Structure 1
Amino acid sequence: MEAAPPTYELATLRDPVAVVAPYIPSNCLSSSALVSRSWHEVFSAQLWGNPSSHSDVEDDRLYDALSTFVRNLRNVRIATRKRTHTLHLPHDEGNRYSFHSTEWLDDVLHLLPNLQSLVVRGLSYFDHASLMQVRLVDQPPFNLRLLDISNCANITPGALARLLPRCLSLFYLDLSYTLAAREWVVLDTLKHLIGLQVLKLRGLNLDNFHVFMHTHVLGRRIRSLDLSENNITDQYLRWLIDKCLPDLTNHSSNAQGRHADGSDSILGPNMLAISQGVHFETYIRRIFTSGFVARLAMEDRPDPGATHLYLSDNYITPVGICELLESGALHVVDVGGQSHYTDRHSTRRHVSSVWQTKSGKTVVTALRDDASENLKHLRVHYGVLIAPEQSIGVDDLVPVIKSNFAAPYDLINRKSGPCLGDPDDLLDTGAPPLPDDCLQPAMLPHLRTLVLTEFPAMSSDRTLIDRLIDYISNCAIQAAHAHAQAKLDWTSPPGRAGQTGTLRHSAERVFALERIVLELSKDVPAGNHSEARSSAQGAKLSMTEDADSEVLWSAAAGDFSFFDGESRAADDEPNDNSLGLSPSRDESQATYARVQSQVQVVDNIAVLSAFRKDRRLVHQQNAASDDHHAYTEGYWPGVVQIVRSAFSVHAGEAADYHSSRSRYA
Structure 2
Amino acid sequence: MHLHPPSYQDATRRPDWLEFVAPYVPIKDYARLCLVSRRFYGHFAPRLWNDPLTTAAAVTAAAAGHRVHIRDNNDLEWFYHFMHQMRYVRENTRLLVTSIDLRRFTPDTSGEFSLYSSKTPLSESLQSLPSTFPSLRCILLDGHSDADASDLIPSPDTRTGCDVLLVSTPHCQSKLPEVFYASQYLSTLIYLDVSYMTGSPTSLKQLLGRGAFGPAYFPDLRILKMKGLEVDDVTAALLFATFKDRLWSLDLSQNRLTDRMFDAMHNDAFPAGTLRGGHADAEGVLVCPAGHGSASFGTFCFVNESEWSVTFNHPERHLADAPVYSQDAYGASQQHTRARLDGRTRPQDDSEDAVKILFSGKTGSNPPNREHIHDLGICQGQHGITHLYLNDNSGITASAISRMIMSSPGQLEHVECSNMSLDMPESGRPGWLSPISTRLLGILGTTHIFRPVFSSNLQVLRIHHSLVTQLASVYSQNDSSAYLSTMENLWLAEAFLLPRAKLAYPHKEAAAFTPDTNPRLQSLTLTHIPRYSTGPLIDSLVSLLKLASMQERAIQDTRKMLITNHRGPAMVPGLRHIRLEFDHDPREHDLGDSDDDEDDLDAEQLVSLAAKGFSFFGEAGWASSASSPSALSKPSPPVTGLPRKSEHRQDEARNHDQSPPVSVRLNSNSTSSSNAYVNLSDTASNIAEPPVTDTVMYQGTWSGAEFTVPVWIGSSSAASISSAAVREYMRLLAKDKRLHTDVQPAMPCHIAAGVPEGKYIYGAAWRAILWPPDHKIRTPSKRELRTSMKDVIEAMKAYRVQTRERYEKIKRDAEGCREEVMLGEPHFYYTGRLEVVRS
Calculate the TM-score normalised by the size of structure 2: 0.57
Q: Is 1:30 aligned to 2:31, yes or no?
A: yes
- Partners of 1:529 and 1:141 lie apart in 2 by 72
Equivalent position SS for 1:405: helix
Q: 1:330 to 1:349 in 2, by over 3 A?
A: farther
Residue 513 of structure 1: aligned partner: 575
Residue 515 of structure 2: aligned partner: 441
- Percent of matched pairs sharing the same residue: 22
- Partners of 1:82 and 1:305 lie apart in 2 by 35
Q: 1:634 to 1:280 in 2, by over 3 A?
A: farther
Does the aligned pair in 2 maintain the 1:34–1:40 contact within 8 Å?
A: yes
- Partners of 2:149 and 2:558 lie apart in 1 by 61
For 2:583, the aligned partner's letter is S
Among candidates 311, 317, 330, match of residue 397 of structure 2: 317
- Partners of 2:435 and 2:641 lie apart in 1 by 37
Among candidates 94, 110, 119, match of residue 131 of structure 2: 110
Does the aligned pair in 1 maintain the 2:191–2:222 contact within 8 Å?
A: yes
- Partners of 1:26 and 1:40 lie apart in 2 by 14
Equivalent position SS for 1:232: coil
Does the aligned pair in 1 maintain the 2:51–2:97 contact within 8 Å?
A: yes
Residue 355 of structure 2: aligned partner: 284
Residue 172 of structure 1: aligned partner: 191
Residue 350 of structure 1: aligned partner: 439
- Partners of 2:336 and 2:20 lie apart in 1 by 32
Q: 1:180 to 1:444 in 2, by over 3 A?
A: same
Does the aligned pair in 1 maintain the 2:398–2:420 contact within 8 Å?
A: no
When you count helix as a share of all residues, which structure comes out higher?
Answer: 1
For 1:437, the aligned partner's letter is A
Q: Is 1:147 aligned to 2:167, yes or no?
A: yes
Counterparts of residues 71-470 of structure 1 (less than 5 Å) = 71-90=84-103, 91-94=105-108, 98=117, 100=120, 102-124=123-145, 126-127=147-148, 130=151, 134-136=154-156, 142-163=162-183, 165-182=184-201, 183-184=203-204, 185=206, 187=208, 188-191=212-215, 192-249=217-274, 262=334, 273-274=345-346, 276-278=347-349, 282-290=353-361, 291-294=367-370, 295=373, 296-298=375-377, 301-314=380-393, 315-326=395-406, 327=408, 328-338=410-420, 349-355=438-444, 362-368=445-451, 370-387=453-470, 403-406=496-499, 434-459=508-533, 461-470=534-543
Q: 1:87 to 1:524 in 2, by over 3 A?
A: same
Shift of 1:206: 0.8
Shift of 1:109: 0.9
- Partners of 1:352 and 1:370 lie apart in 2 by 26
Residue 804 of structure 2: aligned partner: 616
Does the aligned pair in 2 maintain the 1:449–1:516 contact within 8 Å?
A: yes
Residue 641 of structure 1: aligned partner: 834
Counterparts of residues 538-553 of structure 1 (less than 5 Å) = 538=621
Structure 1 residue runs of 5 or longer lacking an equivalent are 356-361, 390-400, 410-431, 540-568, 573-592, 647-665
Does the aligned pair in 2 maintain the 1:86–1:289 contact within 8 Å?
A: yes
Does the aligned pair in 2 maintain the 1:278–1:377 contact within 8 Å?
A: no
Q: Deviations over 1:479-515 (max 9, x none)?
A: 322222212224x543xxxx7xx78x5253xxx1112
Does the aligned pair in 1 maintain the 2:387–2:412 contact within 8 Å?
A: yes
Q: 1:94 to 1:240 in 2, by over 3 A?
A: farther
Q: Deviations over 1:372-394 (max 9, x none)?
A: 421111111111223489xxxxx
- Partners of 2:500 and 2:525 lie apart in 1 by 23
Shift of 1:443: 1.2
Structure 2 residue runs of 5 or longer lacking an equivalent are 59-69, 281-320, 326-332, 362-366, 427-433, 473-492, 592-599, 607-614, 623-638, 643-779
- Partners of 1:457 and 1:405 lie apart in 2 by 17
Shift of 1:217: 1.5
Q: Deviations over 1:326-353 (max 9, x none)?
A: 1222111101133699999996843344
- Partners of 1:56 and 1:244 lie apart in 2 by 41
Does the aligned pair in 1 maintain the 2:168–2:193 contact within 8 Å?
A: yes
Does the aligned pair in 2 maintain the 1:473–1:635 contact within 8 Å?
A: yes
Q: 1:13 to 1:342 in 2, by over 3 A?
A: farther
- Partners of 1:266 and 1:248 lie apart in 2 by 8
Equivalent position SS for 1:610: helix
For 1:84, the aligned partner's letter is V
Shift of 1:325: 1.8
- Partners of 1:253 and 1:436 lie apart in 2 by 22
Does the aligned pair in 2 maintain the 1:472–1:634 contact within 8 Å?
A: no
Q: 1:34 to 1:533 in 2, by over 3 A?
A: farther
Equivalent position SS for 1:537: coil
Does the aligned pair in 1 maintain the 2:405–2:449 contact within 8 Å?
A: yes
Q: 1:536 to 1:334 in 2, by over 3 A?
A: farther
Q: CA RMSD in A?
A: 4.4
Shift of 1:14: 2.4
- Partners of 1:257 and 1:271 lie apart in 2 by 10
